[in-house]
Amino acid sequence: MAWLVLFVSAALETVWATALGASDGFTVPGPTALFAVTIVVSLVAFGYVLRHIPISTAYAVWTGTGAALTVLWGMATGAEPVTFLRLLFIAGIVGCVVGLKLVPARPVTPAPVLEPGVGRAKATDRRG
């Protein structure tokens, strides 16, 4: 469920980023309102995701997916050119996002704590 919410949140990132651009510095009411609503929903959803997916993976997937969808939206609307290199690099972003999804997250185990004097040589033990 968390992964689905993560991708929905990333899609909303595309919406708020596009609305932000269309708001003309928050001077156009419609895009400004859309920006405000979608950024709040996107970040609340992302906050939910962080309770289930490690921040390092979740943030990379969220920003990568949002960036790729934003560029694709720009190309679909004609605001940005469609070129082979752009598509190749977007495919690279998507490939990295899929890779992060497929790599299992391992719980972090704390490093062992050494007791004082354990694991280090004493002054009388020096060999020269």
Instruction: Tell me how many domains the chain contains.
Output: 1
Task: Work out the pLDDT band at 98, boundaries 50, 70, 90.
Answer: confident
Q: Residue 58 and residue 62: Cα distance in Å, rounded?
A: 6
Entry pTM: 0.73
Is 94 a domain residue? yes
Judge contact between 40 and 80, C-beta under 8 A.
no
- pLDDT, tens only, 77-92: 999 999 999 999 999 9
Is 2 a domain residue? yes
Is 114 a domain residue? no
DSSP assignment of 76-99 equals HTTSS---HHHHHHHHHHHHHHHH
DSSP state of 103: S
Average pLDDT for residues 104-119, to the nearest whole number? Answer: 65
Is 44 a domain residue? yes
Is 81 a domain residue? yes
- 121 or 8, higher pLDDT: 8
Percentage with pLDDT > 70 across the chain: 81
Q: What is the dihedral of CA 23, 59, 6, 94, to 10 degrees?
A: 90
Task: Work out the pLDDT band at 56, boundaries 50, 70, 90.
Answer: confident
- Which range among 13-17, 68-72, 96-100, 116-120 shows the weakest confidence by mean pLDDT? 116-120
Is 125 a domain residue? no
Q: Which residues constitute the domain of residue 2?
A: 1-102
- pLDDT, tens only, 18-34: 999 999 999 999 999 99
